[in-house]
Amino acid sequence: MAFHIVELLRARSAEREALYERHVNPQMAHVLRAIGFNRAWVRGKGAVLFDAEGREYLDTLSGWGVFNLGRNHPTVSRAISDVISLERANLVQMDAPILAGLLAEALAARAPAGLTAVHFTNSGTEATEAALKFARCATRRPRVVFCHNGYHGLTYGALSAMGSDYFRQGFGPFLADFTAVPFGDLGALERELGRNDVAAFITEPIQGAGVVMPPPGFLREAKFLCARHGTMLVVDEIQTGLGRTGRFLALEHEGVTPDMVLLAKALSGGFVPVGAVLLRHETYARVFPSMERCVVNAGTFSENDLAMAAGLATLHALDDEKLVERTVVAGERLRAGLERLRRRWTSSRTSAARAFSLPSSSASRSRASRSSAGKPSTRCVRDCLRRWSPWRSSTSTASSPRLPAARWR
C-alpha cells in the first residue's frame, strides 16, 4: 500500500492529543490543557495560526524565534521543494557540497569583518558546543566564562554555560572550568579574564530569557577585555540574529567584531534545522590543522542540502523584502503601542500580556478578538504585527514608510 501523508493526517488527526500524551510528552499535554492551548492547529501563514475551527491567532511565540520570515514563506518552501525534485546527490560526505559553499559565502558576506569561515551544525546548541570546543582548542586554555541568566542550549557544554538553574537541576555534574558572571558586569568579567586562563567568554547580545538588555557599550567593552586577555569572545546570535533587532546581527548596534558568532533558529526559514559558527580562518586552522583532522568536529546532517537551501532562501527573502529594515519600523510601532498600553494600565507586565494574548486562549476566541478590536492600543499592536510581518498583502497606509510590500500571501 502506498504511503500518503495527507491521507494519514486526515485519518488520524483526531488522535493528536492522545498520541502526544501517550508517546511524546505527557506533561506538555497537561500544560496545554491547563492553559487552554490544546488546540488543533491546521495551518500557519506568516504571523498567523489557524485552528481546526478556522479561527485565526496571532503567533507571538514564533516557534521560539524561528519565524523571522513568518510561517511557510514561499521562497523557502519553493527552494526546499526544488532541491527535493532535483534528486541531488545529498550527504555524499566525502564531498564539497555546492549549497554549503554558497550559504557559507552568503553568511561571510554579512558577518563582521574577518569571520569568513563557517562551520555548520544541526541546531543552536550544537553551534554552542562547536564554539566552546574551538575556543579551547585554539587557545589551549581550559576556562569558559558565561553570564547569569544566559541561555546557549541544553547539551552538556551549553548546559555548563547555562545561567538558569531551572535547566540545570537534576542533570549535574557539568563540565569543569565554567564560571558565571552577572550579565553586563564588566568588573566581574575583568576579574575572571585577568587570570589569563579563559578560552572563551560566551554571551548573548540581549538575553532571550526575559529580554534582558545589557548596559550600553557592554559588548564593545567585553571585546576590549577579551582581546587584552587573550580570550575569545563568542556572541550567541541564535535568538537575536537575522534581523530580529533591526540589524542583521544585534552586535552591529555596537560595531563589535567578535571571535565567533553563533546562528541557528531563523536561518532555517522555519523549515529545516540549521546552525552555524562564523569564525576566523586562523581559528579554523588551529582546530583543523591537518587533512587527518578535517572532520574532527562534524555532524552527519550538518551540511545537508535541504538545510543549506533553506538558509540561502531565508537570506534572499530577508534582503529582497527588506525585512531587517521593516523590523525597525515594526519595532517602533510596537513600542509605541505597548507604551500606550503601559500608560493605560498600572503595570506594564499586565498590559503587555493583554496585548499579546490577542486573540488568546479563552474559549470564546472570536468574541474576544472582536471586542478587543475596538481598543486602539491593542489594535495598534496587532495591526503592527500584521502590517509589518511578511505574510501581509501589499496594501500600505498613508503613514507607512515606503518599503517594498511583502511579495506573498
Ligand X SMILES: Cc1ncc(COP(=O)(O)O)c(C=O)c1O
User: For binding to ligand X (CB under 6 A), which residues are involved?
Assistant: 64, 123-125, 128, 151-153, 204, 208, 236, 238-239, 264
Question: How far apart are CB 152 and ligand X at their closest, in Å?
Answer: 5
Rounded Cα gap, residues 167 and 317, in angstroms: 34
Q: For residues 206 and 331, is the Cβ–Cβ distance under 8 A?
A: no
395: left (phi over 0), alpha (psi -120 to 50) or beta: beta
Q: For residues 36 and 363, is the Cβ–Cβ distance under 8 A?
A: yes
Comparing CB distances to ligand X, the nearer of 204 and 305 is 204
* 53 Cβ neighbours under 8 A, 6+ residues apart: none
Question: How far apart are CB 210 and ligand X at their closest, in Å?
Answer: 12
Question: How far apart are CB 126 and ligand X at their closest, in Å?
Answer: 7
Largest alpha-carbon pair distance within the chain?
67
Question: How far apart are CB 344 and ligand X at their closest, in Å?
Answer: 31
Comparing CB distances to ligand X, the nearer of 161 and 338 is 161
Comparing CB distances to ligand X, the nearer of 41 and 64 is 64
Question: How far apart are CB 282 and ligand X at their closest, in Å?
Answer: 25
Q: What is the dihedral of CA 212, 66, 243, 383, to 10 degrees?
A: -90
**Number of Cβ atoms within 10 Å of the Cβ of 391:** 20
Which residue sits closest to ligand X, CB atoms considered?
Answer: 124
Q: Among 148, 145, 143, 123, which residue's Cα sits nearest to residue 202? A: 145
Cell reading at 13: 488527526
Comparing CB distances to ligand X, the nearer of 124 and 311 is 124
Comparing CB distances to ligand X, the nearer of 304 and 369 is 304
Question: How far apart are CB 406 and ligand X at their closest, in Å?
Answer: 26
Comparing CB distances to ligand X, the nearer of 152 and 340 is 152
Cell reading at 3: 504511503
E strands, 211-353, in order: 232-236, 260-263, 275-279
